[in-house]
Amino acid sequence: MYPAKYFQTSEEERHKLSVLINDNALATLLVNIDEPLPHISHIPFHFAEDNASTEAENNVLIAHVSNQHPLAEKLLTQDNVQLSLVFHGEHSYISPHCGTKTNNANGNTRGQVVPTWNYAKVHVTGNATAIVDPELKYQQMKISSQHFERDQQKPWQLTEVSDKRIRQMLTAITFFKVSIGTIEGRFKLSQNKTAEVKAKIAEQVSSRNKPLFAQQILDS
């Protein structure tokens, strides 16, 4: 089995997937167009309901692309376009030189023996459908703006731009929704190590100015 079972997300941990997506909106999008290899690009997504719970129960993601994007062109001729998304959480190199190596009673070395890399990712597959109604596109632009501006001291609003400019933007982009088919977590956080070893690894990660990722390792 790959990845190892302890690096996969259990049903009880599915809330972590929504949290990672909300905190790391920029996804790697992979979609087959008319080439042997998939088209790859990087697009921000958010759940359809901005006030959705952190449980992975909201099964629709929203995004938009330029009309020049290959996905936009395909959505004009196809109702449902299959695609894959990868959302990237934090990651860090893990060196064996972090004070984790010890010997047990049999003389075998325990701890982080070789270099590795810890990471948190979410993989999504689903079907994309274009949002074509002008009023729905306007409402979605408003929702998306509010979502991504939510942490700003003074959030930007659509009313700051003229109606003419808004209409121009709406005609130049394609909004679409992704109905999620599968959603899987890939959290490699030293879950197969002892609490003592994880503490040393977390200390190493924290020293690289990644305290939140260090805490994830401790909590895994």
pLDDT-based confidence at residue 56 (cuts at 50, 70, 90): very low
For residues 52-80, give the mean pLDDT.
83
Kind and range of the H or E element at 120?
A: strand 116-131
Among 41, 47, 40, 1, CA closest to 21: 47
**Is 9 a residue whose pLDDT tops 90?**
no
Comparing 97 with 167, the larger pLDDT belongs to 167
Comparing 10 with 95, the larger pLDDT belongs to 95
For residues 51-59, give the mean pLDDT.
54
Kind and range of the H or E element at 126?
A: strand 116-131
Contacting residues for 18 by C-beta, under 8 A, at least 6 apart:
47, 52, 53, 54, 55, 56, 58
Instruction: Determine the straight-line distance between the first and last CA of the chain, rounded to whole angstroms.
Output: 20
pLDDT-based confidence at residue 102 (cuts at 50, 70, 90): low
Q: Express each pLDDT in 200-219 by its tens digit.
A: 899 999 998 999 999 988 98
% of residues, the chain, pLDDT over 70: 86
User: Angle 63-67-69 (CA atoms, 0-180°, nearest 5)?
Assistant: 75
pLDDT at residue number 194:
87
CA 155 to chain centre: 23
Domains delineated in the chain = 5-194 (2.30.110.10)
Among 143, 211, 118, 132, CA closest to 171: 132
Contacting residues for 208 by C-beta, under 8 A, at least 6 apart:
92
Q: Provide the residue type at 18 as one letter.
A: S
Q: What does the mean pLDDT of the chain come to?
A: 87
d(CA 69, CA 22): 24
Q: Counting every residue, how long is the chain?
A: 220
d(CA 61, CA 48): 5
